[in-house]
Structure formats: C-alpha cells, structure tokens
C-alpha cells in the first residue's frame, strides 16, 4: 500500500527545488573531497547542471536498453529501473560512480525485485563487449546499489492504478471502448520517466494524469467522472489533486523541450524517443569492453 510505503516516506519530495538542492549538495561534496588532489582545478570537475545533463543522457540509454532487452521486459521493471537510477544519483555524483555501470546494475536489480526471471547470463547477453567483465561489474555493484537505496527496494509504479482506473471507467463512466486510451497512456508514462514526477507525486496521481491525458487525445472528457464519481463525497481533496495533475501533465508535456535545450544546439536535434536506427540512444553505451 503506497500510503504506508517506504517510497512515500523516504522517496517522495516536496518540490523540484528540493531535488536540485540534493543534487547540488552531492556535486559540491565531491568537488570538496577531490579538489586538492586536482590542484584546485575547477575545470576538471563537472558542475551540477553538467552532471544533470550527463544523467539525462544515460536515462535515454536506460530506456533504449530496456526496449531492446530480450526476452521482452515487463513495464514494471522499466519503471523500477528508472526509480533506482534517479534515487541513486540524488545522493551520489556521477563523477564518483559511472552511470554506465550503475544503469546496468539498476536494471538487473529491478529484474530481481519485480520477479522478472532472467539469469545473470541471460542479462549480460543483452550487453555488447566483454560479457564476463559486465557480469563482474554488475554483481560487484549490486550490494553497493542496495546500500545507497537504504534497502528500500519495493517500488510502486503507476501501472496497477492505471488498470484500476480503466476497469472503473468501463464500469461507471459513459466512455465507450476505454481500451483505446491505452496507447496514449503508455506513451505518457514512458515520457514521465524522463521527468522527476516519480520523485514528487504518488503513482495514482501519475496514473490519473496519464488517463486524463489519453482521454483528451481521444477528444473525450473525463472531468465529470473525476468530480462526480471518483471523488464524490471527497470534494475537499479535489483542488490539491487538480493542481498535482496539472503539474504532472505540464512536466510531461515540456520534457522534450527541456531535454532539447539541454542537449541541442540550434543546428542539432536528438531523437528522444530512441526509435531511429541513427538515434543517439542506439550507441552501444553498455559496451563493457571500455
């Protein structure tokens, strides 16, 4: 139950400013620790915004790796992998722990926690390069990752609430063929992985935002379902919910624009969906030979 979970207690934060402060703190801590060894050369270090840029790039790689994984990876594993990756780098600097290695370890641990039964041998078959080296890296980092997550490994993803909303909409709303919302919902949730929504909002709020977004894409309106059915008798909670839904939808709407600003010059664009054969996310970032 999310309301009683470690996720709500330890991994949901008040606002984006709090998240940025945590990231900046880790960056400053790393620089302070290593500055003397580098003769106080500030140009040797990444600043906090550069670290964020680097980690956003690796989030694209993470999503692409999960897309291409064989056997096909359940959605919950992808969601849990992203949560682990984001949580780890709230309290660590990518200058201290290479994102390539942490990325692979996050996905492997998520497979275990979500009971997606793949052996370490099957897992590294999805990684190019020296697979024995990859296996050693992942297994040696697994305990480290769990320690930095404070062993809070259970993740509540939006997928279960989404199924609940769809069943309820089919049962109690006037919307016909609710299944046509599913593709738009999946697209919305995938985009949300590239934002900090999972660190700021409950899975049920993200799920409802996805459902309302999907309905609007299908030129349907579910406002009366939310106000008259879903929150009938609890209207005092509606203003906070409406504001949360609005912010989540804005985060997802503007994620591509934000990432283009981070990654692209005027004459350079990046395929954030990682669908193209020429996409930056198709680079074999998980080549463990390097």
Alpha carbon 31 to its chain's center: 27
Which residue has 């992985």 as its token pair? Answer: 193
Q: Nearest 10 degrees: CA dihedral of 83, 85, 90, 95?
A: -170
Alpha-carbon distance 286 to 290, whole Å? Answer: 9
Alpha-carbon distance 123 to 152, whole Å? Answer: 23
What pLDDT, on the 0 to 100 scale, is given for residue 44?
A: 81
- Residue 96 tokens read as 């201290």
What pLDDT, on the 0 to 100 scale, is given for residue 92?
A: 97
Sign (positive/negative) of CA torsion 113, 115, 119, 123? negative
**CB–CB of 184/213 below 8 Å?**
yes
Which residue has 């900090």 as its token pair? Answer: 196
Residues shown for the chain = 290
| Ordered domains of the chain (ranges, CATH) | 2-149 (1.10.472.10), 158-265 (1.10.472.10)
Q: Which of 149, 45, 32, 135 is nearest to 94 (CA)?
A: 45
**CB–CB of 163/84 below 8 Å?**
no
Q: Does residue 265 carry a pLDDT above 50?
A: no
pLDDT band for 235, please (50, 70, 90 cuts): confident
Alpha-carbon distance 143 to 138, whole Å? Answer: 9
What pLDDT, on the 0 to 100 scale, is given for residue 59?
A: 97
SS3 (DSSP) at 54: helix
82-100: per-residue pLDDT in tens? Answer: 999 999 999 999 999 999 9
Q: Which residues contact 284 (CB under 8 A, 6 or more apart)?
A: 128, 129
Q: Per 3-state DSSP, what percentage of the chain is helix, strand, and coil (rounded to 5)?
A: 65, 0, 35
pTM of the model: 0.89
Lowest mean pLDDT: which of 32-36, 70-74, 109-113, 196-200?
Answer: 32-36
Alpha-carbon distance 25 to 29, whole Å? Answer: 6
What pLDDT, on the 0 to 100 scale, is given for residue 280?
A: 32
What pLDDT, on the 0 to 100 scale, is given for residue 271?
A: 36
Q: What would the mean pLDDT of 145-174 be, rounded to a whole number?
A: 97
DSSP 107: H
Q: Which of 187, 174, 154 is nearest to 76 (CA)?
A: 154
pLDDT band for 277, please (50, 70, 90 cuts): very low
pLDDT band for 269, please (50, 70, 90 cuts): very low
Q: What would the mean pLDDT of 208-230 be, rounded to a whole number?
A: 95
């Amino acid at each position: 139950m999310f309301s009683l979970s470690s996720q709500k207690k330890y991994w949901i934060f008040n606002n984006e400013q709090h998240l940025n402060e945590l990231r900046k703190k880790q960056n400053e801590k790393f620089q302070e620790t290593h500055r003397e060894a580098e003769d106080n050369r500030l140009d040797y270090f990444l600043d906090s915004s550069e670290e964020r840029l680097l980690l956003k790039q690796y989030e694209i790689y993470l999503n692409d790796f999960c897309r291409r994984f064989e056997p096909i990876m359940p959605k919950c594993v992808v969601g849990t992998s992203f949560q682990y990756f984001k949580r780890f780098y709230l309290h660590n600097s990518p200058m201290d722990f290479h994102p390539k290695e942490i990325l692979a370890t996050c996905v492997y641990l998520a497979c275990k926690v979500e009971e997606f039964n793949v052996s370490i041998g099957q897992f590294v078959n999805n990684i190019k390069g020296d697979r024995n080296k990859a296996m050693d890296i992942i297994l040696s980092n697994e305990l480290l990752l769990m320690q930095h997550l404070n062993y809070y490994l259970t993740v509540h993803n939006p997928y279960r609430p989404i199924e609940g909303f769809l069943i309820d909409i089919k049962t109690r709303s006037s919307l016909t063929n609710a299944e046509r919302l599913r593709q738009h919902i999946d697209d919305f949730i995938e985009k949300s992985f590239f934002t900090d929504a999972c660190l700021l909002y409950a899975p049920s709020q993200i799920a409802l935002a996805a459902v309302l977004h999907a309905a609007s894409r299908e030129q349907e309106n579910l406002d009366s379902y939310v106000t008259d059915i879903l929150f009938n008798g609890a209207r005092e909670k509606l203003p906070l919910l409406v504001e949360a839904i609005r912010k989540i939808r804005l985060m997802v709407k503007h994620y591509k624009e934000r990432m283009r600003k981070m990654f692209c010059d005027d004459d350079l664009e990046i395929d954030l969906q990682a669908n193209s054969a020429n996409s930056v996310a198709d680079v074999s970032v998980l080549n463990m030979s390097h």
